[in-house]
Chain A
């Protein structure tokens, strides 16, 4: 790859370029046979003389005829990925396959100027080519029963295709447009587009760009949708959805149109009613208009991914639609909408120069999505999310050995492979594992956040704005394809932009997190030196295990002392493990004094638990998560308890909760119970506290006093004042209470008595919750709540006491299990008559049945799950059933 730094920008690997546009015309779509017939016309502009071969990408298409400037042209079609190992029978191993597959993908890689379809320029045109004149390549193709790229959904029932709700849409992972029409399937080859789709008159074809007109065919049975996309766009960002869609023009933004399958319009209205706020948010922070003249959302069944972003349109799973009664799905769907929109700016409008620049796009779109999260769901949710993402990437890298954001490849030799620890090549998006790519995106946005920490958010947004305004200037230029390269982002261009805008050198940061893989693993412990009034902090690193790297640089440590909270920046260097931090407070304290916290708040604390000699309440390492790291820090139980009670950062609270699992003491119990009851506390922290409390209660089972953990708390919060055994009729107006009400029974069911059984009292309590559950007066659906009550029942199950491996029959069924089974049977049967949203209850029932089987209460028989795994059940149900079936192999 010849990537050059500097203003020249991008150089195409091909000896030709596209000029004005490419035409894609699909004039026949047959739903019955799942086939597509059409043609493409590419306008090609040779950049070198003696161009005699043109390579294009095309997979699974049948090419009928190729003409160049109206002359018949010979062509060769060869897709090496169809037969990766070439009858190789000796080396049947994953390694061999992986190498052969990477080679096959390389051989058709558009970014290296390759392709599956090789067209010979007719000799009559050679002279024409030598004069560097324009060539028009016209290709007729068809597609039968595609295995990828285009997905047909054709319900098996009576009626016309439109009545059946049959639809088809493009899908795929990364650049997979070649699956449905011949093109240069690269994110870096931009051109303008004319797209034509002739479909049944009862159907709608949704595609990229502006719908110019819709015209009937002569027999009036079909209509042709004409689309123009004048913004230069990569073929990989072209998409299509055809179906009998219901159309909703966004009431707030008339240039935005939403599409959904028949009968779902009310859900579509509710689901998309929020979208304009996301638009406003992004336009405001980026100080830039949405780049396309229109935007379309299409909700389809059997989606390949929940969210797929393409130029000026996004394809979503229909399962994201929900009504106003559904609580749990709402934030999830809104997140998907926001993600899709972020990718419209970075990913669709601004594309990438090469695969190794992918991290910039994923990073920026993920980062601005994070800003939206912060604004929409609040700082707590944002920090919780960042922590979650950080934990995920750290766990993945430590497990598999590293995610590299910006790989640089040498001459293609295997020993230059920058990621030799992986089973697959990271040279191409198509050779990656799905999980790796998910983690890659996760790391990319976390690194963007690190850059923000470094240069400030203001500069960060300025950089984005600069990228966008350069691109939009470029996009309005015509015929100057070298200008269009401003619409492609590269790592070097991005970094240059950062240094221009901020004047800061972030090279070390890039080197650490982008150019090399791995995360940092810290171990921290401390001692307080009373004589010197100094905190002796020891921070060790593990940088030899796979997936780790050595960190050198600043590290923030926050120490909460009696006199206040103090930040210290330590310099982590090669050989220094110990750091002396002077303390501000004298150990013996003024008892009446309030203690100032980091946020300026002053609180009264009961200090009796702490060490009389030390002024330290708690210590946090890297509290802002400005290193991609894992910290294992040792401090006493009372310090964790103080941290849980008084530290205001939700991440610190969650860390404290996890740490307290190791300290099953009455003091921990009290700290957790107090947090659980505190309404100002972030609901996710309270939910986490439930599970920790259950674990602690189990560890303390012999000394536990009082009713089972959380029971009286639940009774106080959610049961009737006059009859404490009956839960109040449902009212989920307060979402925080709702989530807590859902979680507490699930956690309580994990309690065990001295015989390691779930206490009868708890089981009866959960059964009563089910019995008295009354949703008639509720504005919201209780399907998720009921599903979690079934999860709770499943959690209460303990292994059956089996005598001589007897066969499980009804007669020897444990009476508690009989009660549980009674409920599951009723719930599962009621689902057939009154199905719940997304069949959440069926899903929970199936999981619970598998638990009963696994614990030996019910005969282990996969027949039930197999029937639920069949095609035709809702996807969540199928997944649950398949997971249960897979569980038999474990």
Chain B
């Protein structure tokens, strides 16, 4: 291992690991082994280390769960219980006669994490923040230095970009639609170069042909907001169609209301329009010839 230049942190971890190995070896001796292969010892060390790490990790979780930062004994106990360890047996095991005592590992100092390059002075707390709060982070983490690139203002480039972007989107979209649906082709031998989305008849062809598309509607709203009222009217329209079960009378009333409001919006003052189609439908006479 001398080939590698070792850092203090590596040394620290190696020392701990060596102590664990000693522990494993002594436990093996205690169990009556006279010798062990290196690989077996390594494996057991690894297992022990994992087990202890897990206790630590789990204990930390429990303690944080109860909003503390330092684990207590009960955290450890809960952890061990959780891991399936019978805590009751622990004191007896600790006091067993044949236990071996290992010397504590030499105290090596916890390596200090090298300080990040400080850039500038940390900002002091403002007066309203108590002193025990953490310090501000290094300025470089929050100070921004805006950079400027020449914005694209060249009209030609903008148009070019808008045009090709739209074209790309359209092409990708139509290709996708063509790939996922039925297609027609102008060439018998090739169906993929110029795929045409198959013509599909509509049940009500005039609707798609006459009504502006949503995109156009949007545009219309943008260019002329006075049209908006008209559009909200239409949203209510299917109403009088879909109230079959509510009885004809009610339904008719809704038609009526709607129409008076329609025409009323244009000439606000004359709210009484006498048009025969707006009059309520009469109830049948009791005696009517068929």
Number of A-B contacts (CB under 8 A): 238
Contact of A163 among B186, B234, B241 (CB under 8 A): B241
Determine how close the nearest CB of chain B comes to the CB of A773; give it in whole angstroms: 8
Using known A-B contacts A201-B252, A265-B234, determine if residue A249 contacts B275 with beta carbons closer than 8 Å. Answer: yes
Q: Are B215 and A828 in contact (CB under 8 A)?
A: no
**A324 to B211 CA separation, bound complex (whole angstroms):** 11
CB-CB contacts below 8 Å: B205-221 with A? 205-213, 215-216, 219-220
Name the contact of B186 in the complex, choosing from A246, A321, A861 (C-beta under 8 A).
A861
Contacts of A164 in B (CB 8 A): 203-204
B126 an interface residue at 8 Å Cβ cutoff? no
Query: Which B residue sits closest to A808, measured CB to CB?
Result: B187
Q: Please name the residue on chain B nearest to A876 by beta carbon.
A: B209
Q: Is A885 part of the contact surface with B, judged by Cβ < 8 Å?
A: no
User: Does B57 belong to the interface (CB within 8 Å)?
Assistant: no
Residue pair B281, A214 in contact (C-beta under 8 Å): yes
Interface residues of B in 231-247 (CB under 8 A from A): 231, 233-234, 237-238, 240-242, 244, 247
Give the docked Cα–Cα distance between A177 and B189 (Å).
54
User: Chain A interface: which of B18-26, B37-45, B79-87, B258-266?
Assistant: B258-266
Q: Within 8 Å CB of B263, what residues of A?
A: 248-249, 251, 254
- Interface residues as binary, B143-185 with A (CB distance below 8 Å gives 1, 0 otherwise): 0000000000001100110111001001101100110000010
Query: Is A873 in contact with B186, judged by CB distance below 8 angstroms?
Result: no
A216 to B170, Cβ gap below 8 A? no
B137 at the interface (CB under 8 A from A): no
Q: A156-B203, A723-B155, A826-B174 are in contact. Are A212 and B216 (CB under 8 A)?
A: no
Cβ–Cβ contact B188 & A861, under 8 A: yes
Residues of A within 8 A of B207 (CB): 263-264
How far is B174's CA from A626's CA once the two chains are assembled, in angstroms?
Answer: 56
Q: Are B194's CB and A204's CB within 8 A?
A: no
Assuming the contacts A269-B230, A774-B162, asked whether A835 and B208 have C-beta atoms less than 8 A apart, the reply is yes
Pick the most buried of B173, B198, B205, B237: most chain A CB atoms within 10 A of its CB.
B205
B231 adjacent to A266 (CB under 8 Å)? yes
- B155 and A720 contact, CB distance less than 8 A: yes
Return the contact of A247 from the options B212, B244, B259 (Cβ within 8 A). B259
Tell me whether A262 is interfacial, beta carbon within 8 Å: yes
CB of B255 within 8 Å of the partner chain: yes
User: If A218-B284, A261-B206, A837-B212 touch, does A249 touch B244 (CB 8 Å cutoff)?
Assistant: no
Q: Which residues of A contact B283 (CB under 8 A)?
A: 215-216
Interface membership of chain B positions 189-204, coded 1 if the CB is closer than 8 angstroms to chain A and 0 otherwise: 1100111111111111
List chain B residues, Cβ under 8 A from A265: 233-234, 237, 262
Known: A202-B251, A872-B202. A266 touches B196 (CB 8 A): no
Q: Is A503 an interface residue (CB 8 A)?
A: no
**In the complex the two chains form, is B212's CB within 8 Å of A873's CB?**
no
A interface residues, tally (CB under 8 Å):
93
Residue of B nearest to A868 (CB): B199
Q: Report how far A215 CA is from B290 CA in the complex, Å.
A: 13
Nearest chain B CB to A262 CB, angstrom units: 6
Let me know if A251 and B211 touch, CB within 8 A. Answer: no
A821-834 to B contact mask, C-beta < 8 Å, 1/0: 11001101110111
Task: Report the separation of the CA atoms of residues A870 and B202 in the bound assembly, to the nearest whole angstrom.
Answer: 10
| CB proximity of A835 to chain B, nearest CB, Å | 5
B224/A324 in contact, CB under 8 A: yes
- Kindly state whether residue B52 has any CB partner on chain A within 8 Å: no
A319 near B209 (CB under 8 angstroms)? yes
CB < 8 Å: which of B162, B238, B242, B277 contacts A249? B277
Residues of A within 8 Å of B204, CB to CB, are: 155, 157, 164-165, 301
- Per the CB 8 Å criterion, the residue count for chain B at the interface is 82
B50 to chain A, nearest CB (A): 58
Which one of A155, A251, A269, A826 contacts B171 once the chains associate, using CB atoms below 8 Å? A826
**Smallest CB separation, B58 vs chain A (Å):** 56
Interface residues of B in 251-288 (CB under 8 A from A): 251-252, 255, 259, 262-263, 266-267, 273-279, 281-285, 288
Q: Are B187 and A254 in contact (CB under 8 A)?
A: no
Determine whether the beta carbon of B163 is less than 8 Å from that of A829: no
Q: A249 touching B278 by the CB < 8 A rule?
A: yes
From 199 to 228 in chain A, residues with beta carbon under 8 angstroms from any chain B beta carbon are 201-202, 204, 210-218, 220-221, 223
Binary interface encoding of chain A residues 707-751 relative to chain B, with 1 for a CB under 8 A from any of its CBs, else 0: 000000000000010110010000000000000000000000000
For the complex, give the distance between the alpha carbons of A538 and B240 in Å: 73
Per-position 1/0 for A313-333, Cβ under 8 A of B = 000001101111100000000
User: Residues 8-20 of chain B: 1 if any A CB is under 8 Å from the residue's CB, otherwise 0?
Assistant: 0000000000000
Whether B187 lies near A809 (C-beta < 8 A) is yes
Q: Does A453 touch B at the CB level, under 8 Å?
A: no
How distant is the Cα of A301 from the Cα of B163 in the complex, in angstroms? Answer: 37
A244 at the interface (CB under 8 A from B): yes
Judged by a CB distance under 8 angstroms, whether A781 is at the interface is: yes
- Chain A CB within 8 A of B223 CB: yes
Nearest B residue to A211 via CB reads B276
Which residues from chain A contact B288 at a C-beta distance below 8 Å?
215, 218
B209:A839 contact, CB within 8 angstroms: yes
Which of A322, A324, A825 interacts with B227 by CB under 8 Å? A324
Partner of A771, one of B163, B173, B201, B223: B163
Q: Does B111 contact A (CB under 8 A)?
A: no
Shortest beta-carbon distance from B62 to chain A in Å: 57
**Max chain A CB contacts within 10 Å: which of B200, B203, B212, B262?**
B212
8 A Cβ contacts from A828-872 to B? 828-830, 832-835, 837-839, 849, 852, 858-859, 861, 863-864, 867-868, 870-872
Q: Is the CB of A774 within 8 A of B205?
A: no
**Complex Cα–Cα for A822 and B266 (A):** 48
Q: State the CA gap A722–B159 with chains docked (Å).
A: 12
Chain B residues in 8 Å Cβ range of A803: none
Q: How far is the CA of A217 from the CA of B288 in the complex (A)?
A: 10
Are B203 and A155 neighbours in the complex by a CB distance under 8 Å? yes
- Cα(A248)–Cα(B193), bound, Å: 49
Min CB–CB distance B171 → chain A (angstroms): 6
Chain A positions near chain B (C-beta within 8 angstroms): 155-157, 160, 162-165, 201-202, 204, 210-218, 220-221, 223, 244, 246-249, 251, 254-255, 257, 261-267, 269, 294, 301, 318-319, 321-325, 720, 722-723, 726, 771-772, 774, 776, 778-779, 781, 808-810, 821-822, 825-826, 828-830, 832-835, 837-839, 849, 852, 858-859, 861, 863-864, 867-868, 870-876
Given contacts A248-B263, A826-B171, A829-B195, 20 further A-B contacts (CB under 8 A): A214-B282, A247-B259, A247-B278, A269-B230, A301-B204, A319-B209, A324-B224, A325-B219, A722-B155, A809-B189, A825-B174, A832-B197, A832-B200, A834-B215, A835-B209, A835-B213, A867-B184, A872-B205, A874-B209, A875-B205
Interface CB pairs A-B, < 8 A, 28: A163-B241, A201-B248, A202-B248, A213-B282, A215-B283, A220-B249, A223-B281, A262-B241, A263-B211, A263-B234, A264-B207, A264-B211, A265-B262, A266-B227, A323-B211, A323-B216, A325-B220, A722-B156, A771-B167, A772-B159, A825-B194, A826-B170, A828-B197, A829-B174, A852-B186, A859-B188, A864-B199, A870-B201
